[in-house]
Amino acid sequence: MVSEPGMAALVMFAGASNAFAATAGSMRAALASEPAIPNIFAPSSTPADSIYHLSVFVLSVCAAIFIVVFSLIVYALIRFRRRADDDGSEPPQIYGSNQVELAWTVIPVLIIVVLFLASARVIHAVEDAEMPAGTTEVVAIGHQFWWEFRYPQQGFVTANELHVPVSDPQHPTPTHITLMSADTDHSFWVPKLAGKVDLIPNRVNNMWIDPHDTGVYVGQCAQYCGTQHAKMLLRVVVDSPQDYEKWLANEKQPPQLDAVANGRRIFESTACVNCHTVAGTNAHGTFGPDLTHLMSRATIAAGAADNTKENLRLWIKSPDAIKPGCLMPAMQLTEPEIDAVTAYLLTLH
Ligand code: HEC
Ligand SMILES: [Cu+2]
């Protein structure tokens, strides 16, 4: 029987999970409509695959230990339960048994050694893998609360949505990622592609991925980094070789700056340029995301909102409406100025 307060708790729990489902639903509607579920049990890249197999092994060993220990407990509970004819005297007291003590020391040590060796093998295989020629190099820099991605081989910078080529296991074309931080600790985690690697100020970390299937892989900052840590989302777009080349070619171009001279003038004469870069203009700021090809991204503000005209307008008017506590100030533009700047941003393909 569930007691009254117990019932209430159950009802509340059901309510909370409904509310959660509803939020998750609207989140999905708000974000671009890809299947956005990070999952460590569906790896799609060699490092994630190695981690997955190791996890299954470790979990099986733990499950076996659980079953043995739990069965012994249940056995002891039943076999030595209090009986009606119990006379209340102490059971026999047994001190010291070399066999038993050896067994419960040696067996656990062996189990630990096996788990240690299995983990060491996977760590070595992932961390010391040789990168083939033709590896894509990316530098990822964690910022409060967004990601900067530099492509040093190509000479451009983008933000929040990392594009990489798909990697055929027969002819691997992996991506090597150098991880750094501009401010505090962050952690790069896309569960289907690789394990977590931290981005630490004054330290350079490394990781690599070789996604086997095209598509969008989601992840997020996995190290608490401040107010908007939870909205420091991460998308890895795995492109076919043709799509990747197309994307690269576009990113390397300066944007087509056409009819929206008014919005551009406002953008370039406002503090926007102190924080943002638009290639080929006087905007060279690096405090915020590079906006050169803003419209080639599906989301803004590190996945916090879809990249639509309405959201862009809202963002410029009041970044806090989308990401409270983020490090872009509301610039106090007039309504017509906001319209003009939004129109300008919409041309940055
Ligand atoms: C003090 C620096 C600063 C100023 C000034 C500033 N921004 Fe930002 N901006 C940021 C930061 C930081 C972010 C990233 C916020 C986040 O995602 O947490 C950002 C994000 C953005 C984004 C979203 C980009 C993306 O890909 O996610 C747009 C668009 C943008 N700013 C436009 C503007 C415009 C237009 C102006 C001028 C009216 C402006 N910003 C002024 C710092 C600034
Ligand atoms: Cu972070």
Q: What is the pLDDT of residues 297-313, one digit of tens each?
A: 999 999 999 999 999 99
In a domain, residue 54? The reply is yes
C-beta 146 within 6 A of ligand 1: yes
Report the chain's mean pLDDT, rounded to a whole number: 87
Least confident of 10-19, 140-149, 224-233, 333-342: 10-19
Shared domain for 235 and 282, answered yes or no, is no
In a domain, residue 94? The reply is no
C-beta 126 within 6 A of ligand 1: no
Please tell me the distance between residue 335's alpha carbon and the centre of ligand 1 in angstroms: 18
Q: How many CA atoms lie within 13 A of 41 on its CB side?
A: 3
pLDDT at position 280 is: 86
Shared domain for 294 and 169, answered yes or no, is no
In a domain, residue 1? The reply is no
Shared domain for 63 and 190, answered yes or no, is yes
Average pLDDT over residues 217-221: 94
pLDDT at position 297 is: 94
In a domain, residue 41? The reply is yes
* Interacting residues of 238 by C-beta distance below 8 A, sequence separation 6+: 164, 165, 166, 211, 213, 214, 215, 216, 217
pLDDT at position 96 is: 85
Pocket test for ligand 1, best of 276, 284, 344 (most atoms within 8 A of CB): 276
C-beta 278 within 6 A of ligand 1: no
| pLDDT tens, residue by residue, 130-166 | 999 889 999 999 999 999 999 999 999 999 999 999 9
C-beta 341 within 6 A of ligand 1: yes
Shared domain for 183 and 54, answered yes or no, is yes
Shared domain for 149 and 210, answered yes or no, is yes
pLDDT at position 258 is: 65
In a domain, residue 2? The reply is no
Shared domain for 188 and 54, answered yes or no, is yes
pLDDT at position 1 is: 36
pLDDT at position 28 is: 37
Please tell me the distance between residue 341's alpha carbon and the centre of ligand 1 in angstroms: 12
Max mean pLDDT range (33-42, 253-262, 288-297): 288-297
Q: Domains in the chain: how many in total?
A: 2
Q: Please report which confidence band the pLDDT of residue 253 belongs to, taking 50, 70 and 90 as the band edges.
A: confident
The answer to whether the beta carbons of residues 296 and 247 sit under 8 Å apart is: yes
Shared domain for 209 and 278, answered yes or no, is no
pLDDT at position 24 is: 39
pLDDT at position 260 is: 67
C-beta 330 within 6 A of ligand 1: no
Query: Residue 149: nearest ligand to its CA?
Result: 1
Shared domain for 294 and 202, answered yes or no, is no
In a domain, residue 256? The reply is no
Q: How far apart are CA 19 and CA 91, in angstroms?
A: 54
Shared domain for 232 and 321, answered yes or no, is no
* CATH code: domain of residue 70: 2.60.40.420
pLDDT at position 259 is: 60
Beta bridge partners of 141: 148, 180
Please tell me the distance between residue 143's alpha carbon and the centre of ligand 1 in angstroms: 12
Shared domain for 229 and 140, answered yes or no, is yes
C-beta 275 within 6 A of ligand 1: yes
Shared domain for 64 and 190, answered yes or no, is yes
Residue 123's domain comprises 27-79+100-240
- 230 vs 11, more confident: 230
Least confident of 8-17, 107-116, 127-136: 8-17
End residue of a domain, out of 207, 240, 273: 240
